[in-house]
Amino acid sequence: MTRDFAGLAAVVTGGGSGIGLATARLLAARGATVACLDLDPTGVPDPLVGVTCDVTDTDSVTAAVATAASRLGGLDVLVNNAGIGARGTVEANPDAEWHRVFDVNVVGVVRTTRAALPHLRASAAAAIVNVCSIAATAGLPDRALYSATKGAVQALTLAMAADHVAEGIRVNCVNPGTVDTPWVRRLLDAAADPAAELTALRARQPIGRLVSAAEVAAAIGYLASPLTAATTGTVLAVDGGMHGL
Ligand code: NAI
Q: Which residues are catalytic?
A: 146
Q: Are 131 and 220 in contact (CB under 8 A)?
A: yes
CA distance 38 to 223: 22
* Residue-level pLDDT, tens digit, the chain, 245 residues: 899 999 999 999 999 999 999 999 999 999 999 999 999 999 999 999 999 999 999 999 999 999 999 999 999 999 999 999 999 999 999 999 999 999 999 999 999 999 999 999 999 999 999 999 999 999 999 999 999 999 999 999 999 999 999 999 999 999 999 999 999 999 999 999 999 999 999 999 999 999 999 999 999 999 999 999 999 999 999 999 998 65
CA distance 223 to 173: 8
Task: Write down the H helix ranges in the chain.
Answer: 18-29, 58-72, 95-102, 108-120, 135-138, 144-164, 182-190, 194-204, 213-224
Q: CB 140: neighbour CB atoms within 10 A?
A: 18
Tell me how far the alpha carbon of residue 165 lies from the centroid of ligand 1, in angstroms: 27
CA distance 160 to 80: 13
Q: CB 241: neighbour CB atoms within 10 A?
A: 12
pTM as predicted: 0.98
Q: Which helix (H) or strand (E) holds 12?
A: strand 9-13
Tell me the best of 53, 178, 183 to mutate to test the pocket of ligand 1, counting ligand atoms within 8 Å of each CB and taking the most: 183
pLDDT of 6-20, one tens digit each? 999 999 999 999 999
Question: Which residues are 128's β-sheet partners?
Answer: 78, 171
What ipTM, to 2 d.p.?
A: 0.99
Question: Which residues are 236's β-sheet partners?
Answer: 174
Cβ of 180 less than 6 Å from ligand 1:
no
CA distance 182 to 37: 17
* Closest residue by Cα to residue 244 from 90, 134, 112: 134
